[in-house]
Structure 1
Amino acid sequence: MDIRAIAARALGPVIARKESLNTALPRALEYCQENERALLQQFCYGTMRFLPRLERLAKHLLKKPFKEQDQDVYALVLLGLYQLLEMRIPAHAAISETVEATSQLNKDWAKGLLNAILRRLQREQDELLESLSEKEAFNYIHPQWMIAKLQHNWPDHWADILEQNNQHPPMTLRVNRQKTDQASYLQQLSDVDIQASATPYSDVGIQLKTPIDVSLLPEFDDGFVSIQDEAAQLSSDLLDLQAGQRILDACAAPGGKLCHILEHQPALDHVTAIELEDNRAQRIQENLQRLQLNAEVIIADAATKDWWDGVNYDRILVDAPCSATGVIRRNPDIKHMRQSEDIKALAELQLAILQNCWQMLKQGGRLVYATCSVFPQENERVIERFLKSQPDAQHLAIEADWGIERAFGRQLFPQPGGHDGFYYAVLVKDQN
C-alpha cells in the first residue's frame, strides 16, 4: 500500500480520538516497507505535532467537515498540508502523491477536492498563514485551553514550554551500572563513531548527538543500556535505596524506573511492580527479561489494596498516571488527545493512588511521587492536599541543582536538547 495511505489510515482514529499514536503507529508500520518506515513515522509524528495549526488551516479551506466514515480522507488532507508547510518534499510530488493515495483508500471521489485544497495552499500560502496568525493556537501550535492554563500556571515559563513541546526530543540512554558505567560506555560509543555526551544531572545518563536505531548501540541486546529520558532517571536517587529493602513501584509500565531501581541497588529484598493493563505489564516483563532482572509483576489497580499481601514497604515509587504534558515532544498526539476536563479527574486519581499506597509504607519509610506533567494541579497541589489529610506524612525538600524548587517538590520543564518535563516530591512517614 502507498505510504501516504498507510499514514492516513493510522492517523484517522488518532484524529478522531479513538486511539493513541502509540497504538496506531506500530500496527501501520507492519504494512510499510523497511526502507519507508522512517518516512511513515515522520508523516505521523509531524502531522500530530503540527495538528492545531493544520486543523485551523483545514477548517479555513474546507466548506464543510468530513463525515465520520471519511476521517481517513481528512487525515490525508492534514498530511498534505503538513508536507507543503513543513517538509522538504517538492510541492508537485507532495500534492500528486497525496491525491493519488485516495485511490488506495477507495475514495476516488475525493481526488478533486484534495487537489484543489493543496494547490490553493501552494498558491496562497503566505496570505493564508497571515490571515490565521492572530490566533494563539495557530502560532503556538497547541490547543487554546492548554496555552491559557500554562500562561496562568507559569507566567514566566509558558512560552518556553510551548516552544520546547514543538521540538524533536533528544535520544537519551541509561547505563546499566551492573554491567558498565557512564565513562566506559561513552568510550564504547566513541569506538563505533557514535557521538554522545554525559547528562548533567544523572550519573548513568548519556545523550546521543543524533537519535539512532537501538540495534546500532553496542551490547544493547545484552542489557548494557536502556532508552530513558534523563528526568525519569532521577527517581532512583530520590528513593535512597538500601540493601535488604522491600520496594513497591506503583503504575510501573513500561518498566524503565523499575529496571533502574533494580540496577541501582541489586541487593534489595523484594520488588513489587503494579500495572493495571495486561498489555502494558507485558512490556515490563520484556524489559526485565532483556536486562536479566527480577521483580514481582502484578496486574492490579494501584488505587486498591486487594492485591497487597499486607507486608509494608520500605520505599514506594508512585509514578502516577498524568496528562503527560511534560513529554509532548515525544508524544505529540497528547496535544489533541488530552482535554481540559481531564486534569481534574487525573488529580483525583493521583490523590487516590497516593493515599492508598501510603497505607503500605513502613514507619520511617520514604515515598517518591512523580509525574511527567507540568501542571501544578497534578503535582504540588496533589501533594499539598495529601499532606493536609495525612498527619503522619512529612514533606522532604529535594536538595538538587535540577528543576525549580516549589513549596512541595521540584518541577522540571522540557529543556532545549535536554531532559523532558517532570515533577518529583519526596514524602517520609513519621516513626511514631
Structure 2
Amino acid sequence: MPQDSLAYALKQASTLVAGVLEGGNLTDGYEAMLSANPSWPDATRGAVRDLTWSTLREFGRGDAVLRHYLHKPLPTYLHALLLVALYRLEQRPAQSHTLVDQAVEAAAAEVPALKGVINGVLRNVLRETMKLEGWRDADIEARYACPRWWIERVRYDHPADWEAILQAGNLHPPMSLRVNARRASGEDVSAALEKAGIPARKLENGAILLAHPVPVQRLPGFAEGLVSVQDAGAQWAAQWLGAVDGERVLDACAAPGGKSAHLLERADIDLTALELDPTRAARVRTNLDRLGLAARIKVADCRRLNTWWDGEPFDRILADVPCSASGVVRRHPDIKWLRRNEDIPRFAAQQAEILDALWQTLAPGGTMLYVTCSVFDEENRRQIDAFLARHPDAETHAIDASDSRSLPPTADHDGFYYARLRKLR
C-alpha cells in the first residue's frame, strides 16, 4: 500500500482513532507513530493528522449514523475506520466512490475477512445520504459533537452562550505567536511575517494571530528564539500575574514552559519552575534554552512542599493547575472520548490540594494567579469561592475590574479561566 495513497492515510488514522476508543492518549499515539515512520513525507503526515483529529472532533456524528447499519460490534479498528471514512465522505462527497474503494483496501490490510462489511456499510450510506443529517440532528451528541454530560455541564454553567462555546470547541484551533521581548519587537515580527507571505494580525494582549497555521519551520525568527507558538488566551497569564524585576516567582505546574518563558521575557525575576513529570520538565529546559532564558527547574509534586521548597516565600505564584482541558478540546479532541463526568470532581479535589499547599509558600502581600484551561465552573469560579471560604487571609485581586476572567473559546483563542488572589497576612 503506497504511503501517498488515501488508503494508507485511512489505515493510519484509523489505528490512531482505535487507540483512543480503547482509552489511549492521542498525542502519545501519534508521536509513537511518527517515530516508527520517520520517512513519512509532509503530505502523509498532514493527511493522517487531519483525518485523525477531525474525526475525533466530530464526536458522536459517525456513531449516530452507524447505529442504523451495525447490528453487532465490530473490531475496534474497523469501527474506527468507518468513523474516519464517514468524516471524509461528509467533507468530500464528490470523491465518495474513491473513498469507499480506498476504505475497503484499508480494511483488507488489517481484517481482510470483514472488508465486505466496510464495503456494505459505506455503500448503504451513499444510497441513503438524505437520511444522514436527520439521524444526526435527532441525536444531541451528534448535533454538538460532545458527550451528553459535557453538553449539560456547559449549558448549566454558561446559560447565555453555551451553544457558542460548544461550537467553538469543535473548530480547527487558531495559531498564535508570542514575541520574545528580549530579542524582538511586535512590529519587527509582524514585518517579517508580512515579508514571508504569512498574513497575521496583532491582538489586544500583543499576541500575533496567524490567518492560517503554518509549520514552525516557516516562521521567521523561530529558530533564533524571536517568537514562540502559544495560544493567545494563554498569553494573558504573564501579564495578569504582573511579576516585576527582582521578584521571587514560582510557576507551579510549568510544562511545557510557555508561561515560564513569557514571565522571564517580561521581567528579570528569580523563577522556579516545577513539573511533576521528568520528561515534561526536560521540555521546559529545551524551550527556555531556545529562547536564551534561565530558571531553576525542579521535578516535584507541588503539593509536597518538603520535597522542593526551601522555606523562602514567593512574591508571586502562577498556579496553572491540571484540569479537564475542556477549553482546549479542539487541540486535544481525544479528551471528548476519554473524559467522564465523574472525572471533574476529581480534578477539582486535586486543584484544591494544590491551592492549599501553594498558599503556604506565598509571602504576605503576595499574588497568586489561578489558571485553568477549563470551561467547567466546578474547576473555575466554584473552586475559587471554596478557596476563599477556607482562607480568611485571601482576597480576590481584580482583573480589569472583575473578580475573575473567564475566556470562552473563540476563533481567536482557546478557553481559559483566570482568578488573581492576594495574601493579606
The letter for the 1-side match of 2:349 is E
Distance in 1 separating the partners of 2:90 and 2:333: 17
The letter for the 2-side match of 1:77 is L
Counterpart for residue 212 of structure 2:
210
Distance in 1 separating the partners of 2:316 and 2:339: 31
Counterpart for residue 393 of structure 1:
394
Q: Does 1:147 align with 2:151?
A: yes
- Distance apart, 1:28 and its partner CA: 2.2
Counterpart for residue 33 of structure 1:
41
Residues 269-300 of structure 1, C-alpha deviation per residue, up to 9 Å, x if partnerless?
x2111111122212212211211211111111
SS of aligned partner of 2:68: helix
Counterpart for residue 409 of structure 2:
414
- Distance apart, 1:263 and its partner CA: 0.6
State percent identity of aligned pairs: 38
Counterpart for residue 428 of structure 1:
422
SS of aligned partner of 2:172: coil
The letter for the 2-side match of 1:324 is A
The letter for the 2-side match of 1:421 is G
Distance in 1 separating the partners of 2:291 and 2:99: 43
Is the 1:7–1:28 Cα contact (8 Å) retained in structure 2? no
Distance in 2 separating the partners of 1:110 and 1:129: 27
Q: Does 1:116 align with 2:120?
A: yes
Counterpart for residue 318 of structure 1:
319
Residues 301-337 of structure 1, C-alpha deviation per residue, up to 9 Å, x if partnerless?
1222122111111110000101111111222222111
Counterpart for residue 350 of structure 1:
351
Is the 2:254–2:284 Cα contact (8 Å) retained in structure 1? yes
Counterpart for residue 251 of structure 1:
253
The letter for the 2-side match of 1:112 is G
- Distance apart, 1:3 and its partner CA: 2.2
Alignment of structure 1 residues 326-405 onto 2, 5 Å = 326-399=327-400, 405=402
Is the 2:369–2:421 Cα contact (8 Å) retained in structure 1? yes
Alignment of structure 1 residues 281-296 onto 2, 5 Å = 281-296=281-296
2:138 alignment partner, one of 99, 120, 134: 134
TM-score under structure 2 length normalisation? 0.95
Residues 342-374 of structure 1, C-alpha deviation per residue, up to 9 Å, x if partnerless?
111101111110110010001111100000101
Is the 2:64–2:139 Cα contact (8 Å) retained in structure 1? no
Counterpart for residue 65 of structure 2:
57
Counterpart for residue 81 of structure 1:
86
SS of aligned partner of 2:67: helix
Measured on the aligned residues, the alpha-carbon RMSD in Å equals: 1.4
Counterpart for residue 10 of structure 2:
4
Distance in 2 separating the partners of 1:131 and 1:193: 43
SS of aligned partner of 2:354: helix
Distance in 2 separating the partners of 1:12 and 1:131: 23
Is the 1:318–1:354 Cα contact (8 Å) retained in structure 2? yes
Distance in 1 separating the partners of 2:127 and 2:329: 32
The letter for the 2-side match of 1:254 is P
Distance in 2 separating the partners of 1:337 and 1:211: 26
Distance in 2 separating the partners of 1:89 and 1:303: 55
Distance in 2 separating the partners of 1:191 and 1:129: 44
- Distance apart, 1:89 and its partner CA: 6.5
Distance in 1 separating the partners of 2:243 and 2:202: 23
- Distance apart, 1:88 and its partner CA: 5.8
Structure 1 stretches of 4+ with a deviation exceeding 3 A read none
Alignment of structure 1 residues 158-237 onto 2, 5 Å = 158-200=162-204, 202-203=205-206, 205-237=207-239
- Distance apart, 1:338 and its partner CA: 1.3
Residues 102-160 of structure 1, C-alpha deviation per residue, up to 9 Å, x if partnerless?
2322x101200011111111111221331342221111111111111111111101010
Is the 2:21–2:337 Cα contact (8 Å) retained in structure 1? yes
Distance in 2 separating the partners of 1:87 and 1:42: 13
Is the 1:325–1:373 Cα contact (8 Å) retained in structure 2? yes
- Distance apart, 1:426 and its partner CA: 0.4
Residue segments in structure 2 that go unaligned for 5+ positions in a row: none
Counterpart for residue 272 of structure 2:
272
Counterpart for residue 20 of structure 2:
14
TM-score under structure 1 length normalisation? 0.93
SS of aligned partner of 1:258: helix
Residues 367-410 of structure 1, C-alpha deviation per residue, up to 9 Å, x if partnerless?
0000010111101111111111111111111116xxxx4xx411
The letter for the 2-side match of 1:414 is P
Count of residues in correspondence between the two structures: 415
SS of aligned partner of 1:370: strand
Distance in 2 separating the partners of 1:48 and 1:342: 20
Is the 1:83–1:89 Cα contact (8 Å) retained in structure 2? no
SS of aligned partner of 1:253: coil
Distance in 1 separating the partners of 2:191 and 2:59: 40
Q: Does 1:300 align with 2:300?
A: yes
* Alpha carbons of structure 1 residues 240 and 128: separation in structure 2 relative to 1, 3 Å: closer
Larger mean Cα displacement after TM superposition, 79-88 or 284-293: 79-88
Distance in 2 separating the partners of 1:143 and 1:117: 24
Distance in 1 separating the partners of 2:34 and 2:103: 18
Residue segments in structure 1 that go unaligned for 5+ positions in a row: none
2:29 alignment partner, one of 16, 24, 28: 24
Residues 208-228 of structure 1, C-alpha deviation per residue, up to 9 Å, x if partnerless?
111111100111011100011
Residues 49-76 of structure 1, C-alpha deviation per residue, up to 9 Å, x if partnerless?
112211222233211113xxx3222211
